[in-house]
Amino acid sequence: MTLEKINDIYEDFKNALARLQEALNEDLLKGNIIIDGTIQRFEFSFELSWKLAKSVLSYNGIETESPRMAIKEGFKAGIIKDGEGWINMLGDRNKTSHIYDEKQALNIYDGIKNVHFKLLKDFDNSIAKFIDKIER
């Protein structure tokens, strides 16, 4: 894994996170489309986050093959600060593929807004520090 590739994935992640922030700022009174769109943007952000963690770990000689493994190893390496929170976020991400009722969608939306977005922002800060350290 090269630093250039990590930077490419990081840019995609930052863009996805900004779009997730936009969705979270929308008024829920606009309808269920806001909840659905937010969940979809969360899915993109989460997928990029674990792939970014996997890339950073690979750059450091640690190979991972799954989101769960990337979370566990990322926590050990210090790029993920709240391992349990990330495992919970992975669980919600896995549920998003199978949401069939409005109540469950709203529960996941609330998790994104109140917990998961902060975890992703903290991860963003960790990765920025990691890249800055390497580029010096």
CATH topology of domain 3-135: Four Helix Bundle (Hemerythrin (Met), subunit A) (1.20.120)
What's the mean pLDDT in 64-76? 97
pLDDT confidence tier of residue 79, bands split at 50, 70 and 90: very high
Question: Which of 19, 41, 68, 98 is labelled catalytic?
Answer: 98
Q: Global pTM?
A: 0.95
Does residue 27 come out as left (phi exceeding 0), alpha (psi in the -120 to 50 range) or beta? beta
- Let me know if 98 is a catalytic residue: yes
Q: What DSSP string runs through 73-86?
A: HHHHHTS-S-HHHH
Question: Which of 19, 68, 93, 136 is labelled catalytic?
Answer: 93
CA 5 to chain centre: 18
pLDDT at 101: 84
Can you give the residue ranges of every domain in the chain?
Answer: 3-135
Encode pLDDT of 90-124 as tens digits.
Answer: 999 999 987 778 889 999 999 999 999 999 999 99
pLDDT at 10: 98
- Let me know if 116 is a catalytic residue: no
**Total Cβ atoms within 10 A of residue 98:** 7
